[in-house]
Structure 1
Amino acid sequence: MSIASETATTTITTVRFNDHYPLNGFKLLEVSSDVLDDLQSTGRLVIKGVDKNDEAVLCTSIKTYVLKSAHTSNSMMLTHQQTGSNTYSIESLQQLHYELTEIPPRLATIKTHLLKRPIDNNQCFNNVDGMVIDNGTDVSTAVGYTMPQLESLVQASPLEIQQYLNSVLHVFHIGDRIALFSERYHERLVELILTEININGWSSHSIPINECIEKIGDTPRQALEYIFHIYATKCEDKMSSNSDQYYKLDTNMICIFRGKQILKSVGVMPMDKFLEKWTDSVPVGFTPRFDMLKGVAVATVAKNNNKPTATYLSEEDLPIMPKDRFIQLFKINTKWSLPELEPYIRPIITQDAGLESFVLKFARSAPVPGSKEKIYMSRY
């Protein structure tokens, strides 16, 4: 096919099909200016589908998007101009393109992966050049993951993964590897510290960290310091005569630890018995409140006697897909308030999305008699 261009000098443009037409390796992707700027800055976009049943997502350096195909209103021909001529070859005919929709990063699997390669005992520590040694054998490759390994396993951008590791999981770093303590080993270390505080009669607001670690004895210092940094804060204005640094236990973190520990072991408890056992388990002066367990436990009603109960329900254990998550939540409780739903729904919506409008896609609301509040029930 030839096309004449009506200019001062007539130019003939020739368009023909490529000998290997159609070349199916071409796909069209519609991107926003933000995605384009990120691509031009970093030189990479990554499409991830970790499991065969996963939706394909595209990750920039800072955000995560789901990929969806959409038909174009008009078919588009992709052409290639031959060098030094006015001839174009048609490489491909495109009748659909891919669109991007920003989604929350799918980060829950990070903890699952890290707990497959945990630090599980004292023998995992031997401070020789910062390496992890087990019975004299270098097992650094068997504990934790490098950042590139995690990026390949998780449908999220590098920035989102890094923020989650630092602010939510409180990971332990071993050289270039990232690890978590096993739940059993983590709990054991917290118990050692709390027991030592109790034995020595130290105030929960004034704990000499070096003395505490020395008295505990046969436990790696870096493991105990790691636990202190999670469950306590440094007292900047207090120093002992021997230059020991004092720490103050974080009330919320200790109460959450104990509440989760009690409830996870049984699943469901009568509310009054749970609150009594929970209060007895924390240091003197600490007052646990059920709202501390947002995203960890919910108040339910026993079916046999209609009495209030506490039910272990971790946000991390719920399905990633919104519809499946709502179905499971409404199996636990048939009616929810918006504040009750928030810790279980906020992690699966983008920061700028409205919580109530999102909930109403999967639930219906009804007013609470005599109140401005609403309750939410399943659509399914």
Structure 2
Amino acid sequence: MSRRSRVEVDATLLVAKLVPEELLGTVHCLQFSPSVVSGEYSLLELDPALCERVQSGHSLVIRGDKNEHAVLCSDDKTYDLKIADTSNLLLFVPGCRTPEQLAADQETRNLIHAQISGFSNHYWELRRCRPKVKKLKKLLTENTYEGPDVERNKDSVNVTYTTEELLNQIQASEQELMDQLQVIHACKIDGYWRLLEFDYEMKLLNHIAQLVDSESWSFSKVPLNVCRKELEALEPPEMIEHCLKCYGKKFTDDAGEVCFALNEDQICRATAQMLLQNAVKFNFSEFQEVWQQSVPEGMTTRLDQLKGLALLDRSSRPETVCMLKTEDLPEDAQERFNHLFGIREKWSEVDIAPYIQDLCGEKQTIGALLTKYARSSMQNGLKVYNSRRQIS
């Protein structure tokens, strides 16, 4: 195909009833390359921050098994990949320059001939989403750590996962994965991530609490090295330190000694889980009494420590409480609401909020979620929510 001349371009503009003086000075004459193939290229739309990260040498990774919807991950964020169609055909022109670049080029010709190497009528759009980490606990539960004695008698073929292996299976950025490993109290043992059996974790915590009591220490200052040394005959020192990290905040005192400030709410919550895990329902007043007796002396149990862990039924006589953990609920928002409304037909906002808080996006509120997935009504002067769909 012959190249267009300036005369031909001006004639085309005249036919199109366009005024050359109102257009940019440089004209691109486009031709399809003989080797152009439809579908050979894909376009991905990046926001300025992500684009800058890529240009500075950082990587973006697409994660997902064959049965999962693909997500794209940066170092610390996860994005849904959505196909967005466009009515305008998108053309790929290698070496194409923007008007700003052309204006800065002293040697820019008035007429530029360029070849189209590919085209598309859609592109990939990124939408920030929550990391899909529910699978993480399921994987690590396959081979929980119950202490050195049990470990020695285990079959050596038990499945274990390194950080890289988890990144290959979990749809989350590396930072989000590491954060979630910390949330579920996972521990790295011999280079592999393991989840401690809950009863074993409580055994470690009980050893620490008894030592604190016998030494008359403050829960706000528990010395690490003394703990490790005093309890090494009972459990591996690294397990004692891991338990302190799970239930306390590390700091260095004025004398340079590493200490931990134990978290009362986390310890009371773990104790409640220990009491509730083997009971279908618990008389609430009896539970409160046993719960307070079970926590370390000097700690106080409170109802707000049960948020997202246990569900109180005030309508039953007597009032009852049962375990319902947020982490055990479906990750998908609609499935989550279906599950919750299957458990209880009507919810107050106070009761349901702990179980949907993690579904909120960056700028989304609990109220917005309830408006989308539930109907509101008044019951005995209290606003309650029920499902928009029929729950079987």
Q: Deviations over 1:241-291 (max 9, x none)?
A: xx9977654321221111011112223222222222212211233221221
Runs of 5+ unmatched residues, structure 2: 11-26, 96-111
2:43 is equivalent to residue 28 of structure 1: yes
Pick from 349, 359, 366: which aligns with 1:355?
Answer: 366
Pick from 372, 383, 386: which aligns with 1:377?
Answer: 386
8 Å Cα contact 1:4/1:12 also seen in 2 = no
User: Matches of 1:365 and 1:100 in 2, distance apart?
Assistant: 33
Q: Deviations over 1:114-157 (max 9, x none)?
A: 333443322589xxxxxxxx59x9x8x97853332222221111
TM-score (norm 1): 0.78
Runs of 5+ unmatched residues, structure 1: 126-133
Structure 2 partner of 1:61: 75
Structure 2 partner of 1:161: 177
SS in 1 for 2:331: coil
* CA positional deviation for 1:215: 4.8
User: Matches of 2:5 and 2:283 in 1, distance apart?
Assistant: 84
Bigger strand fraction:
1
Residue pairs, 1:6-155, within 5 angstroms: 6=6, 15-16=31-32, 18-19=34-35, 22-50=37-65, 52-79=66-93, 86=113, 88-92=115-119, 94-123=120-149, 145-155=161-171
Pick from 291, 313, 320: which aligns with 2:331?
Answer: 320
User: Matches of 1:262 and 1:63 in 2, distance apart?
Assistant: 36
8 Å Cα contact 1:318/1:328 also seen in 2 = yes
Query: Are residues 233 and 30 of structure 1, via their aligned partners in 2, closer, same or farther at CA, if it must alter by over 3 Å?
Result: closer
SS in 1 for 2:296: coil
Structure 1 partner of 2:246: 230
Pick from 330, 341, 354: which aligns with 2:341?
Answer: 330
Structure 1 partner of 2:299: 286
User: Matches of 1:287 and 1:9 in 2, distance apart?
Assistant: 83
8 Å Cα contact 2:3/2:113 also seen in 1 = no
Structure 1 partner of 2:267: 254
SS in 2 for 1:44: coil
Query: Are residues 208 and 46 of structure 1, via their aligned partners in 2, closer, same or farther at CA, if it must alter by over 3 Å?
Result: closer
SS in 2 for 1:365: strand
User: Matches of 1:172 and 1:369 in 2, distance apart?
Assistant: 48
* CA positional deviation for 1:55: 1.7
SS in 2 for 1:145: coil
SS in 2 for 1:256: helix
2:283 is equivalent to residue 270 of structure 1: yes
8 Å Cα contact 2:76/2:175 also seen in 1 = yes
Pick from 195, 200, 204: which aligns with 1:189?
Answer: 204
Query: Are residues 157 and 210 of structure 1, via their aligned partners in 2, closer, same or farther at CA, if it must alter by over 3 Å?
Result: closer
Say which is worse superposed, 307-316 or 317-326, in terms of deviation.
307-316
* CA positional deviation for 1:317: 0.9
2:324 is equivalent to residue 310 of structure 1: no
Structure 1 partner of 2:105: none
Query: Are residues 157 and 14 of structure 1, via their aligned partners in 2, closer, same or farther at CA, if it must alter by over 3 Å?
Result: closer
SS in 2 for 1:361: helix
Query: Are residues 100 and 249 of structure 1, via their aligned partners in 2, closer, same or farther at CA, if it must alter by over 3 Å?
Result: closer
SS in 1 for 2:372: coil
Q: Deviations over 1:60-101 (max 9, x none)?
A: 2221111112221123344568xxx95625534x22222211
Percent of residue pairs bearing the same amino acid type: 29
Aligned length: 355
User: Matches of 1:12 and 1:100 in 2, distance apart?
Assistant: 31
Query: Are residues 45 and 366 of structure 1, via their aligned partners in 2, closer, same or farther at CA, if it must alter by over 3 Å?
Result: same
TM-score (norm 2): 0.76
2:385 partner amino acid? Y
Q: Deviations over 1:183-233 (max 9, x none)?
A: 2322332233345556x3745637666555555423211111221232345
User: Matches of 2:6 and 2:258 in 1, distance apart?
Assistant: 84
* CA positional deviation for 1:326: 0.7
User: Matches of 1:119 and 1:215 in 2, distance apart?
Assistant: 22
Query: Are residues 201 and 174 of structure 1, via their aligned partners in 2, closer, same or farther at CA, if it must alter by over 3 Å?
Result: closer
Q: Deviations over 1:18-52 (max 9, x none)?
A: 45x534332222222122122222442211113x3
